Structure 1
Amino acid sequence: MTVPEPDTTFDTVLVANRGEIACRVIRSVHRAGLRAVAVYSDADAGAPHVAAAHTAVRLGPAPAAESYLDIDRVIAAAVATGAGAIHPGYGFLSENAGFARACEDAGIVFIGPPAEAIAGMGDKITARATVEHRGVPTVPGLSRPGLTDEELVAGVTGTDGGPGVGFPVLVKPSAGGGGKGMHVVEDPADLADVLAAARREAASTFGDDTLFIEHFVDTPRHIEVQVMADAHGNVIHLGERECSLQRRHQKVIEEAPSALLDAATRARIGESACDAARACGYRGAGTVEFIVPAKNPDTFYFMEMNTRLQVEHPVTEMVTGLDLVELQILVAQGRPLPVTQEEVTLTGHAVEARVYAEDPSTGFLPTGGRITALRWPEGPGVRVDAGVVEGQEVTSDYDPMLAKVIAHGADRDRALDRLDTALATTLVAGVGTNTDFNRFLLADTAVRAGDLDTGLLDRIVDDYTTPPAPAEAVLVAALALRAAAQATAQAAGHAGVWAAADGWRAGGPPAPFRVRLAVPGHGPTDVALSTGPDGTVLTRTPVDGDAPAGQDDPVPVTVLDAGPGAGAGPDTTWTIVPGGRPAGSRRWTSRPVSTPDGPGVAVSGTAGTWVVHHLSLACDAADAAAGEDDVLSPMPGAVVDVRVRDGDTVTTGQPLVVVEAMKMEHSLTALHDGTVEVRCAVGDKVGAGTVLATVTN
Structure 2
Amino acid sequence: MTLEHPATIFGSVLVANRGEIARRVIRTLRALGIRAVAVYSDADADAPHVREADEAVRIGPAAATASYLDIDAVIAAARQSGAEAIHPGYGFLSENVTFARACAQAGIVFIGPGERALEVMGDKIRAKEHVAGSGVPTVPGFSAAGMNDAEIARAAEATGFPLLVKPSAGGGGKGMQVVRAADDLPAALDSARRVARAAFGDDTLLLERLLERPRHIEVQVLADDHGAVVHLGERECTLQRRHQKVIEEAPSPAVDPRTRERLGRAACAAAASVDYRGAGTVEFLVAAARPDEFFFIEMNTRLQVEHPVTEEVTGIDLVAEQLRIAAGMPLSFTQDQVRLRGHAVEARVYAESPERDFVPSVGEILVWRPARGIRTDAAIEIGSRVTADYDPMIAKVIAHADDRTQALRALDAALASTVIAGVETNVAFLRSLLARDDVRVGDLDTGIIDRMPVLEASSPDEAELAAAAAVLRAIDDEVPPVGQSGGAGAVWRNLRGWRAGRPAAAETVSFLVDGGDVVSTRRTDAAGASEVVAVRGPDAAVWTWRDGVTHRLTPIDRHEAMTRRLAARSRHVSAVDPQVRAPMPGTVVAVHVPDGSRVAAGDRLVSIEAMKMEHIAVAPHDGAVRIHVAIGDQVNRDQTVAEVEEDQHDDSTE
TM over 0.5: yes
Structure 1 residues not aligned, in runs of 5+ = 1-6, 158-164, 493-499, 504-510, 530-536, 540-558, 560-574, 577-586
Counterpart Cα distance in 1 of 2:543 and 2:281: 43
The corresponding residue for 1:53 is 53
Of 588, 606, 616, 2:531 maps to 588
Q: Please state if 1:259 is matched with 2:273.
A: no
Cα distance between partner residues in 1 of 2:273 and 2:611: 37
Q: Residues 177-188 of structure 1 correspond to what in structure 2 (within 5 A)?
A: 177-179=171-173
Tell me which residue corresponds to 2:612: 663
1:314 corresponds, among 285, 308, 311, to 308
Q: Deviations over 1:641-676 (max 9, x none)?
A: 77999xx75656687766442234555577786796
In structure 2, the residue matched to 1:104 is: 104
The verdict on how the C-alpha distance between 1:501 and 1:272 changes in structure 2, with shifts beyond 3 A counting, is closer
Deviation, 1:687, is 3.0
Q: Secondary structure at the match of 1:588?
A: coil
Aligned residue number for residue 276 of structure 2: 282
Moved more, 259-268 or 236-245: 259-268
1:356–1:433 Cα contact (<8 Å) kept: yes
Partner of 1:458: 450
Q: Distance in 2 between matches of 1:688 and 1:211?
A: 31
- Provide the residue aligned with 2:402 in structure 1: 410
| Aligned positions of 1:107-186 closer than 5 A | 107-132=107-132, 135-139=135-139, 174-179=168-173
What is the CA distance between 1:390 and its match in structure 2? 2.5
SS at 1:27's partner residue?
helix
* Alpha-carbon shift at residue 131 of structure 1 (Å): 3.2
Question: Which residue in the other structure is 1:545 paired with?
Answer: none
Tell me how far apart the structure 1 counterparts of residues 24 and 168 of structure 2 sit (CA, whole Å).
31
Residue 428 of structure 2: which of 424, 436, 443 is its match?
Answer: 436
Q: CA deviation at 1:633?
A: 3.6
Residue 25 (structure 1) aligns with = 25
d(CA) in 2 for partners of 1:74, 1:269: 37
Distance in structure 1 (CA, Å) of the matches to 2:456 and 2:415: 17
Cα distance in structure 2, aligned partners of 1:357 and 1:154: 39
Contact 1:383/1:406 (CA < 8 Å) preserved in 2? Answer: yes
Q: Summarize the Cα distance change of 1:667–1:246 in structure 2 as closer, same or farther, 3 Å threshold.
A: closer
The one-letter amino acid paired with 1:524 is V
Q: Is the 8 A contact 1:171 1:214 kept in 2?
A: yes
Name 1:688's counterpart in structure 2: 637
Q: Is the counterpart of residue 291 in structure 1 residue 288 in structure 2?
A: no
> Mean Cα displacement is larger for which, 85-94 or 405-414?
405-414
Distance across 1 between alignment mates of 2:152 and 2:355: 44
Amino acid at match of 1:89: G
Question: Match of 1:549?
Answer: none
The one-letter code of the counterpart of 1:243 is C
Label 1:54 to 1:446 Cα distance change in 2 as closer, same or farther (>3 A). same
Amino acid at match of 1:309: L
Q: Give the Cα separation in 1 of the matches to 2:555 and 2:266.
A: 58
Aligned pairs for 1:425-504 (under 5 A) are 425-460=417-452, 462-474=453-465
Distance in 2 between the 1:386 and 1:198 partners? 34
**Offset of residue 251 of structure 1:** 0.9
Residue 367 (structure 2) pairs with residue 374 (structure 1): yes
Identity of aligned residues (%): 52
1:357 is displaced (CA, Å) by 2.0
Q: Check if 1:349 corresponds to 2:343.
A: yes
Residue aligning to 1:602: 544
Alpha-carbon distance in 2 for matches of 1:685, 1:140: 40
1:386 Cα deviation after fit: 1.3
Kept after mapping to 2: 8 A contact 1:8/1:334: no
Q: How does 1:5-16 map to 2 (within 5 A)?
A: 10-16=10-16
* 8 Å contact kept, 1:125–1:144: no
Q: Are residue 393 (structure 1) and residue 385 (structure 2) matched?
A: yes
Find the structure with the greater CA-based Rg.
1
Q: For residues 359 and 558 of structure 2, what CA distance do their matches in structure 1 show? A: 32
Q: Could you say what secondary structure the match of 2:584 adopts?
A: coil
Specify the alignment match of 2:520 in structure 1: 525
Q: Which moved more, 1:207-216 or 1:243-252?
A: 207-216
Instruction: Find the aligned partners of 1:213 and 1:115 in 2 and give their Cα distance.
Output: 25
Quote the Cα distance in structure 2 between the aligned partners of 1:448 and 1:676. Answer: 48
Residue deviations 1:279-305, cap 9 Å, x none? 111111100101111111122222211
Letter in 1 for 2:352: E
CA 1:8–1:135 in structure 2 vs 1: closer, same or farther (change >3 Å)?
A: farther
Alignment of 1:72-91 (within 5 A): 72-91=72-91
Q: Does 1:635 align with 2:592?
A: no
Query: In structure 2, how many angstroms separate the alpha carbons of the residues matched to 1:592 and 1:454?
Result: 37
1:14-43, CA deviations, whole angstroms, 9 ceiling, x for partnerless residues?
111111121111111111111111111112
Q: Which moved more, 1:116-125 or 1:467-476?
A: 467-476
Contact 2:144 2:207 survives alignment (8 Å): no
- SS of residue in 1 equivalent to 2:395: strand
Q: Is the 8 A contact 2:175 2:193 kept in 1?
A: no
Of stretches 330-339 and 204-213 in structure 1, the one that deviates more from structure 2 is 204-213
The counterpart of 2:222, out of the listed 219, 228, 231, is: 228
* Cα 1:129/1:389, change in 2 over 3 Å: same
Change (3 A) 1:392 1:479: closer
CA contact (8 A) 1:395 1:637 kept: no
Contact 1:423–1:608 under 8 Å retained in 2: no
| Pairing 1:646-657 to 2, within 5 Å after superposition | 649=596
Change (3 A) 1:61 1:609: closer
User: Does the 8 A contact of 2:468 with 2:535 survive in 1?
Assistant: no
Residue 523 of structure 2 aligns to a residue in which SS? Answer: strand
Alignment deviations for residues 595-627 of structure 1 (CA, whole Å, 9 cap, x no partner): 64x34352424x745455555557544657799
SS at match of 1:316: helix
Cα separation, 1, equivalents of 2:503 and 2:187? 68
Q: CA deviation at 1:685?
A: 4.2
Cα shift readout 1:565-606 (whole Å, capped 9, x = no counterpart) = xxxxxxxxxx54xxxxxxxxxx4143433264x34352424x
TM superposition shift of 1:366 = 2.1
Check the 8 A contact 1:483/1:501 in 2, yes or no.
no
Question: In the comparison of the two structures, how many residue pairs are matched?
Answer: 604
Q: Deviations over 1:139-182 (max 9, x none)?
A: 4667899899989979996xxxxxxx888776666545444676
Q: CA deviation at 1:421?
A: 1.8
| Residue 376 (structure 2) pairs with residue 384 (structure 1) | yes
Q: Is the 8 A contact 1:651 1:670 kept in 2?
A: no
> Is the Cα–Cα contact under 8 Å of residues 480 and 601 in structure 1 kept in the other structure?
no
How far off is 1:89 after superposition? Answer: 0.5
Compute the displacement of 1:441 (Å).
1.0
Q: How far did residue 514 of structure 1 move?
A: 5.6
Question: Quick one: structure 1 residues 55 and 221, their matched pair in 2 at CA, closer, same or farther if it must change by over 3 Å?
Answer: same
TM-score normalised to the size of structure 1? 0.75
1:325: Cα distance to partner?
0.7
Q: Distance in 1 between matches of 2:339 and 2:294?
A: 22
Cα 1:53–1:141 shift into 2, 3 Å:
same
In the alignment, structure 2 segments of 5+ residues that lack a partner are 1-6, 481-485, 487-500, 572-576, 647-654
Cα distance, 1:258 vs. partner?
0.7
* Superposition TM-score, scaled by structure 2 size: 0.80
Amino acid at match of 2:457: T
Instruction: Render the CA deviation track for 1:121-153: whole Å, top value 9, x for unaligned.
Output: 123343234334555444466789989998997
Matched letter for residue 262 of structure 2 = R
Counterpart for residue 92 of structure 1: 92
Alpha-carbon distance between aligned partners in 2 of 1:202 and 1:612, rounded to the nearest angstrom: 37
Specify the code of the residue in structure 1 equivalent to 2:245: K
Q: Which residue of 2 aligns with 1:360?
A: 354
